[in-house]
Structure 1
Amino acid sequence: MKQYIFNIHDVVLLMTAAECLLLAVFQAILPTRSRHDGRLLIAFLLIIAVASACTLALWNDQFSLAPWLEQTLLPYLLFSALLLKGPAIYLYVCSLTRQNFTFTRGMALHLLPALLVILCLAIFNISSNDLRHAAAGQGFSATVISLVWDLASLAPFAYAVAALRQLRRYRHALKDEYSHYSEVELNWLTALVWGVCVAWAWTTVVHVVAKFSSQSVADYMGIADNYLSFILINAFFAYSLTYAHQLLATQPEETSQERVPEEDEPSEPAIEKVRNAMESDKIYLKKNLNLEQFSDRIALPAKEVSAVINKHFGTNFFEYVNSYRVEAAKSLLADPGKADMTVLDVLLESGFNSKSAFHRFFSRLVGMSPTEFRKQALADAKVS
């Protein structure tokens, strides 16, 4: 009777490893290879390739490798990959969402979990067989193996959560610095990172279930984990080709040494400058207005303008500018002399440059669509 080396689930791992290698090579020849996000994506792909190949080699009994590779080197490669995939995805997100992102010495701290596990493997001379039969083992060595697996399962999930927090900070930064931005690229990246978070949370669940349930249940859950990884790898590569380069830059975050104490309340002259720029100069009519352009126009530092908008007016730059634009649109829509203007003409003349953003923002602030508002306002004007 024929014996198959790989079953269909093993093939998924094999395809994931092979595809990651091919995508890493392809990413390396793209123009974005010189950017940090391109390099980090290549690193992430290679790490996933190693993790998939090592997982396949560890749990497949139908083929064997050289003894030194299978028993000695394999555990080091496997756990290094499992504990480096988290930092790789976190730093990839940081490189996309931080202006002038650079590698620093402090980032070496992300290597500590992997180095700690490698040290444990070396001290206790843990082999592949020890990893396979850890559940049946006893003693201090089995406890160490259990803790190593725990760390390899939990650490990537923690990094995925950190990546989500970074995206949240980036979204807030966009609203503080831009009056208009496309949410498509950011929403896609957020969805992908949520996918990673869910997938790695599932990995943690599989690990916990394996401790307290039957092996067959854990195996089926682990197989689903492999399929999720395969799907996510394709999604990340597609994102890097289509949307990654379109994300807007934000001001770099201040370090604790750079932060200076801020006044409790902005000065009255600064408040008046910001108010006059909006009410007299109607600077909000400028399309794609950002905080830097606004601050240059009124000769105030960007930090001071941001402080006025945040602390005095209690909002962010995005909301502040667009609220004026909505008021301008309401005036145009309610004017009988402008009844021949289309809604598109109105939104463009009000400073908006996106139909979807205008409708979404107008409906949220006014409580009805622009068309409904115009109909009601013109009807009221006729009655009066």
Structure 2
Amino acid sequence: MKDHIFNIHDVILLMTAAECILLAIFQAVLPAKNKASSILLTIFLLSVAVSATCVLMLWNNNVRFFALFDHTLLPYFLTSSLLLKGAALYLYVRAITQESFAIDSKKLGHLIPVAIGILWLVIFKIDTHSLVWFRDSANPLPNKWAVDILWGAIKIVPLAYVIAAVWKVRKYVTQLENQYSHFSPTEPGWLSVLTYGFLFSWSLTLLVHIIAEFADPSISDTFGITDNYVGFILINALFTYSVVYAHQLLATKPEVIKEEKTDEKVTSQAIAKVQTGMEIQKLYLKHNLNIEEFSKRIELPIKDVSAVINKHYGTNFFEFMNKYRVEEAKRLLLDEKCAEMTVLDILLQAGFNSKSAFHRFFNRLVGVSPTEFRKQAQKA
């Protein structure tokens, strides 16, 4: 009765699998504004649950289902889930950041690595015994090289996808700056932290695989156990993010605004229209203005507006608008007629709708806080 079926590290894997299943069920019953992102998050959670269960069964002889699964089917479930989780995470990031995202036939191409992995298992007849003992020098496997390649693939493919997800988040922030005059940095900031977290975790997974080839098994075990704990934390963080923050993200339109590297010159007429919108119409005073609405107001195509701001002014839409707003705020702070106005009143009248964004921009562009700027002006 003193024998333990699980150690604490096995319990973490078991908890990860159980929690992922519960969160997937919870995600499925939640009212979803974005069905595509909900489906992809559910697929990701289930793939992590399956992979955690399979890893637990692979290394713990006390955990068994039935003979056919234990000896033959386990590699198929493990391989499929590990190759699927990276694609699911990457597509989830796209789904919550792109307005035009849809799950269509083109997305099925992301199942190709899974299909290749399954075919590889069939061709080389890789079973559970092969996955566990492929590094056993005393009893070398005849298909060891095939198992080596399989293990490498199921470590590298998810890592490649999470690198793509990190790049996508960075591109998303750039697109926000090109399309919106105001956005909260909190939601994309947390998304960036999460993707970098998975990048760290899955890089650690690959490192464990490499270390196991050359170092003492205890070292790779330590890294592997650490990876399990990190994964458990990240799963909880990702689900919390999906419930609390994901629905607040502003969607971008990558098909409308493209970073085209052309030698096309910006016309003086286009520049004049943008200047008119800013200096005559004072469109920067409008809260939550985006580039699509701005282009309609000045009757200039979005791509031309973007070209003027990016090439002629050398900045993005976000910075361009808020520089004008800061100048307006400075004017109001210096105006004796506005002496009774609070800083909050001034930031709202200048076109800002966020106190934190106003203070961040004002301090960066002016060098002092709005309150200090007003005090210095009054002393002069």
TM-score if structure 2 supplies the norm length?
0.95
* Alpha-carbon offset, residue 152 of structure 1: 1.1
Comparing 161-170 with 136-145, which one deviates more in the overlay? 136-145
* Pairing 1:148-187 to 2, within 5 Å after superposition: 148-187=150-189
Distance change >3 Å, CA 259–CA 173, structure 1 → 2: closer
Structure 2 unmatched ranges of 5 or more: none
2:4 aligned counterpart, secondary structure = coil
Comparing 145-154 with 38-47, which one deviates more in the overlay? 145-154
Distance change >3 Å, CA 4–CA 244, structure 1 → 2: same
Aligned to 2:118: 118
Aligned to 2:16: 16
Q: How many residues align?
A: 378
CA contact (8 A) 2:34 2:96 kept: no
Percentage of matched positions with identical amino acids: 51
2:351 aligned counterpart, secondary structure = coil
One-letter code of the match for 1:112?
I
One-letter code of the match for 1:148?
L
Aligned to 1:305: 305
CA contact (8 A) 1:48 1:85 kept: yes
* Pairing 1:188-203 to 2, within 5 Å after superposition: 188-203=190-205
CA distance in 2: counterparts of 1:253 and 1:124, whole angstroms = 43
CA distance in 1: counterparts of 2:17 and 2:241, whole angstroms = 19
Comparing 6-15 with 104-113, which one deviates more in the overlay? 104-113
CA contact (8 A) 1:17 1:53 kept: yes
Aligned to 1:101: 101
Aligned to 1:225: 227
1:351 aligned counterpart, secondary structure = coil
CA distance in 1: counterparts of 2:369 and 2:179, whole angstroms = 27
Distance change >3 Å, CA 259–CA 350, structure 1 → 2: closer
CA contact (8 A) 2:93 2:169 kept: yes
TM-score if structure 1 supplies the norm length?
0.94
Q: In the alignment, does 2:295 pair up with 1:290? A: no
CA contact (8 A) 1:335 1:378 kept: no
CA distance in 2: counterparts of 1:322 and 1:366, whole angstroms = 12
1:101 aligned counterpart, secondary structure = coil
Structure 1 unmatched ranges of 5 or more: none
1:195-223 CA distance string (max 9 Å, x none): 11111111111111111111112112111
2:254 aligned counterpart, secondary structure = coil
One-letter code of the match for 1:320?
F
CA contact (8 A) 2:181 2:288 kept: yes
CA distance in 2: counterparts of 1:261 and 1:358, whole angstroms = 32
2:101 aligned counterpart, secondary structure = coil
CA contact (8 A) 1:27 1:33 kept: no
What RMSD in Å do the two structures reach over aligned CA positions?
Answer: 1.9
Aligned to 2:250: 248
Q: In the alignment, does 2:2 pair up with 1:2? A: yes
* Alpha-carbon offset, residue 254 of structure 1: 6.1
2:143 aligned counterpart, secondary structure = helix
